[in-house]
């Protein structure tokens, strides 16, 4: 039997670091999302041939991840979200096919390796968020699942295919033929609450990302999230803000899928900047705390951004929105190397094929955007002001005008002059993404010249 609180030493460590990692502590953070199996194979990994089969284990380890902390921090990230760490069914390279909640996936290394990685991250001031699944388990025989009673059929819903037009079916049927846990059972709820408390404590995690949230009944989540004891961010895979906001009070934050669609539509030349503003305003009115939402432009469940639109200048503009707009930024590993894989598993490329190139164009772009976020004070507030909403451009400010960002969707090679009111008269800024400085006139107006379709990021001098 595993007790929720392992030792006094671990508890004291959690108090000193983990429990400080509440929602407010996460808001100024900048998150790098890493599939453990795909980052680095060993502490000495300097690059190599691409993995031959992305649908199975490629060899990434906790030691490999630890060796790339400086590579990650070099882009300005001060938090890392890692995929689930528990023992998995055969072929569960991604981590989402649990078989033993209290075991560690030996393909990634040992429990001590994981602790060493988290400790090394903490020494560099980097938070670590662990991914967890409470909706389903891996496709192994029920009798092989741990701990008890997860090895009993009564711990699962009867098998059925999901009808996505029926919420009851979404919650109780089996996603991808994976055994669906009977989360209505009070003993199961207690088991998972005790486990997530233990997990966070044992490994000193600072945050928890929760998978497949909409596939579990809503009243399950407050107890689970509370048991985690740290910031929790849930995945409700749906673009409807009315639907997603129904989960917003059940945990600390959610992935901002409602903004994912209009944001990408604009920067991929398929939609309007007004749609971004409209969704922004809907989120403001529907969600209790929009600043606790995680902003992203792609991930392991969605085709990579460049697979939809192969234009590095447009990608930079989208990244400017994710990193410098409202919310907590989440950037998917490999974005910095301009990866462009399509649907899963093609969007789960190994990182070592890039030789961990810190000089790549997007690595450098992310570094500059992250530096601006940090220089502007972390951008934790709900202070985004829409300054300019045009056919091919969107500009906003943060911090009362200390940061002004102009983005466009004209793309690589485009130029343009954009004049708008910054709402702050006689203010001077430096363009930290490119070159040059600008000063608004006595009415707050400024004209900015876009070059090669790149964003302009102005920081007050």
Strands (E), 75-174: 79-82, 86-88, 98-104, 127-132
Q: Could you tell me the maximum CA-CA distance found in the chain, to the nearest angstrom?
A: 74
Residue 19 DSSP SS3:
helix
Q: What are phi and psi of 306, to 5 degrees?
A: -70, -15
Can 217 be counted among the known catalytic residues? no
Between the alpha carbon of residue 412 and those of residues 268, 310, 334, the distances in Å are 12, 10, 21
Identified catalytic residue from 45, 211, 349, 402:
211
Can 235 be counted among the known catalytic residues? yes
Tell me the C-alpha distance between 311 and 413, whole Å: 10
Tell me the C-alpha distance between 1 and 58, whole Å: 33
Between the alpha carbon of residue 216 and those of residues 161, 181, 232, 234, 418, the distances in Å are 15, 9, 16, 12, 47
User: Two tokens at 288?
Assistant: 């209790």
Q: Please, which residues have CB within 8 angstroms of residue 110's CB and are 6 or more apart in sequence?
A: 62, 104
Crossing angle of helices 111-123 and 186-203, in 10° steps, is 60
In whole angstroms, what separates CA 308 from the centre of its chain? 19
Strand ordering across the sheet containing 428-431: 385-389, 393-398, 403-408, 456-460, 428-431, 437-439
Q: How many residues does the chain have?
A: 461
Tell me the C-alpha distance between 185 and 390, whole Å: 52
Identified catalytic residue from 37, 180, 235, 311:
235
In terms of Cα–Cα distance, which of 135, 132, 299, 323 is closest to 231?
Answer: 132
Tell me the C-alpha distance between 416 and 419, whole Å: 10
Tell me the C-alpha distance between 90 and 433, whole Å: 45
Give the alpha-carbon dihedral of 295, 297, 303, 308, to 10 degrees.
160
| Dihedral sign from CA coordinates of 368, 374, 376, 382 | positive
Q: Which residues are catalytic?
A: 211, 235
């Amino acid at each position: 039997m595993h007790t929720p609180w392992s030792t006094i030493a671990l508890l004291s460590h959690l108090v000193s670091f983990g429990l400080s990692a509440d929602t407010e502590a996460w808001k100024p953070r900048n998150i790098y999302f890493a599939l453990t199996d795909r980052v680095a194979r060993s502490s000495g990994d300097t690059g190599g041939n691409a993995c031959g089969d992305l649908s199975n284990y490629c060899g990434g380890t906790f030691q490999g991840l630890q060796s790339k902390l400086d590579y990650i921090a070099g882009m300005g990230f001060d938090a890392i979200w890692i995929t689930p760490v528990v023992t998995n069914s055969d072929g569960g390279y991604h981590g989402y096919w649990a078989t033993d909640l209290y075991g560690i996936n030996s393909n990634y290394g040992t429990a001590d390796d994981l602790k060493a990685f988290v400790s090394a991250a903490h020494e560099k001031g980097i938070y670590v968020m662990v991914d967890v699944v409470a909706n389903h388990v891996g496709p192994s025989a029920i009798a092989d699942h741990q701990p008890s009673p997860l090895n009993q059929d009564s711990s699962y819903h009867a098998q059925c295919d999901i009808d996505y037009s029926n919420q009851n079916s979404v919650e109780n049927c089996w996603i991808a033929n994976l055994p669906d846990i009977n989360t209505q059972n009070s003993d199961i709820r207690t088991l998972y609450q005790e486990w997530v408390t233990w997990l966070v404590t044992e490994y000193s995690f600072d945050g928890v990302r929760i998978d497949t949230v909409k596939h579990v009944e809503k009243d399950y989540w407050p107890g689970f999230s509370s048991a985690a004891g740290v910031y929790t961010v849930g995945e409700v895979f749906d673009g409807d803000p009315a639907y997603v906001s129904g989960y917003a009070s059940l945990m600390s934050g959610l992935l901002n899928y409602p903004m994912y669609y209009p944001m990408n539509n604009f920067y991929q030349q398929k939609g309007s900047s007004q749609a971004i503003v409209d969704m922004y305003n809907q989120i403001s009115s529907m969600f209790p705390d929009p600043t606790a939402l995680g902003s992203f432009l792609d991930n392991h469940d969605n085709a990579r951004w460049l697979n939809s639109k192969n234009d590095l200048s447009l990608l930079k503009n989208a990244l400017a929105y994710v990193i410098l707009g409202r919310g907590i930024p989440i950037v998917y590993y490999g974005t910095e190397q301009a990866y462009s894989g399509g649907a899963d598993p093609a969007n789960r490329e190994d990182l070592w094929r890039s030789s961990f190139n810190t000089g790549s164009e997007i690595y450098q772009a992310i570094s500059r955007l992250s530096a601006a976020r940090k220089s502007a004070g972390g951008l934790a507030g709900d202070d985004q002001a829409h300054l300019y909403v045009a056919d091919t451009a969107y500009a906003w400010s943060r911090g009362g005008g200390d940061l002004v960002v102009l983005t466009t969707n004209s793309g690589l090679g485009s130029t343009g002059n954009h004049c708008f009111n910054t709402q702050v008269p006689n203010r001077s800024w430096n363009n930290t993404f490119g070159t040059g400085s600008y000063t608004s006139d006595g009415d707050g107006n400024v004209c900015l010249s876009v070059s090669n379709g790149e964003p302009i990021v102005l920081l007050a001098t």
